[in-house]
Amino acid sequence: MRRRKTSTTTTTTTSTPIVSTVISSAPAPVVKLRGSTLGISAGSLLSLRILDECLALGFGWVRCSYEAGWTETGSISALATMTKEAHARGLKVLHVAQSASHRYDDPLSNSRLASHTVDAVRIANVDAVEVGNEWNHKGPFWTAPDVSIVPPVAQAVVSCQIAGTLRTYYPELPIITPGMSPEADPLNPWTWWPQFLDAAPVAHAGAGWTALGLHPYTYPELATTNPARWNPLRQVTTLLEQSRLRGFPTRIWLTELGAPGFATNAPIIRGVALTEEQQAANYRSYIDEIHLLEAGGVRFDATFFATAFDGDSVTTTVEKGLGLSRSDGTHKPARQVVADFAREPLV
């Protein structure tokens, strides 16, 4: 049976494409926080606990000293282990070059220290080196050469030998001068520093220093009220001017800074009880002075607080209380002061 032809109509629908224009805003600028320039000064007692505390505080650095001449498993291998752990946490390591004897009047020992310091970079992969610790102390002092044996002139020669050896191999490595303590006259920083620089200007030029190191403790007095002769933060502008006049880099690292605080049985120094509240006041005064100096154009490349936990210092009974936290890990008021400082935008 024939089917009747069916008429078929085809309809084509034409649609006008709708173009959606998405205007993407520029990515928000990354705000770098001050914590990236802060660290804990751990000395010879660096531990995983301290590294984790640096991370918890938002810090970018840790400072330690594994001394040449240690007889245990080997200071370089121990340093390499801790540096690897620090780097795994995104932290950088400042190593303080020191000799276990703390005497720097033996040329052979000094040569070994220079080699040891090169190994700290070559093998242990530290990120920066501070050559010596508080060498402007009146001797004898346990971490510094007795100035009656190794005066500023000799100190300059020794430190330049170590720094110059490092610079030969590592042109870009940050190398910091011996961190100056808040020593009394006539060896306070602004008196000792020009002696140190003027002792060996040619050697200093060859050493390729990055910055001067400073330990501006003032406790129990406050940095905002203590006179300049006892207050290294109030000597900073003079120190930098002394550097500028001699062609030395006008950069500065605060490689140790802190104050002790005790919950009970607080020791008393010069009529001031070293309570936890006083510790927090000391820290606030340090930060106020740093802000004031920054407002005047000074820049601090790095700042290290001593220490993370009570008992982390190997020195005096008073310094056993330097921790931002108690030995059991509970926080003191000063820790919050520092944590707030770390969260500031970096200027």
Q: What span, in angstroms and rounded, lies between the C-alpha atoms of 303 and 214? A: 9
Segments forming the whole domain that contains residue 185: 34-342
303 forms beta bridges with 38, 254
The reported pLDDT for the residue numbered 173 is: 97
Average pLDDT over residues 300-328: 93
pTM for the whole thing?
0.89
Number of residues assigned to the chain: 347
Q: What span, in angstroms and rounded, lies between the C-alpha atoms of 278 and 262? A: 9
Domain-located, residue 22 = no
- Which range among 188-197, 280-289, 320-329 shows the weakest confidence by mean pLDDT? 188-197
68 forms beta bridges with 99
Domain-located, residue 14 = no
Domain-located, residue 11 = no
Domain-located, residue 286 = yes
CA dihedral sign, ordered 162, 166, 171, 172? negative
Whether the per-residue pLDDT at 145 is higher than 50: the answer is yes
Q: What span, in angstroms and rounded, lies between the C-alpha atoms of 307 and 50? A: 9
User: pLDDT tens across 188-234, in order?
Assistant: 999 999 999 998 898 898 899 999 999 999 999 999 999 999 999 99
Supply the mean pLDDT for the chain. 88
Domain-located, residue 314 = yes
Whether the per-residue pLDDT at 4 is higher than 70: the answer is no
The reported pLDDT for the residue numbered 48 is: 98
Residue 183 or 191, more confident: 191
Assign residue 186 a region: left if phi > 0, alpha if psi is -120 to 50, beta otherwise? Answer: alpha
- Which two tokens mark 145? 């050469």
- Phi/psi for 93 (5° steps) reads -120, 125
- The CATH number for 330's domain is 3.20.20.80
Domain-located, residue 139 = yes
Percent of the chain with pLDDT over 70: 87
E-state strands within the chain = 38-43, 61-64, 92-97, 128-131, 175-176, 212-214, 252-257, 268-269, 272-273, 300-305
- Distances in Å between the alpha carbon of 201 and those of 144, 157, 248? 22, 10, 9
- Distances in Å between the alpha carbon of 112 and those of 122, 144, 181, 227, 253? 15, 17, 25, 40, 26
Whether the per-residue pLDDT at 22 is higher than 90: the answer is no
- Phi/psi for 26 (5° steps) reads -65, 145
- Which two tokens mark 5? 């032809």
User: pLDDT tens across 48-75, in order?
Assistant: 999 999 999 999 999 999 998 875 557 8
Average pLDDT over residues 40-55: 96
Q: How many domains does the chain have?
A: 1
Residue 344 or 187, more confident: 344
Q: What span, in angstroms and rounded, lies between the C-alpha atoms of 191 and 183? A: 10
Domain-located, residue 294 = yes
The reported pLDDT for the residue numbered 155 is: 86
DSSP single-letter state for residue 68: B
The reported pLDDT for the residue numbered 3 is: 37
The reported pLDDT for the residue numbered 5 is: 39
Q: What span, in angstroms and rounded, lies between the C-alpha atoms of 326 and 332? A: 7
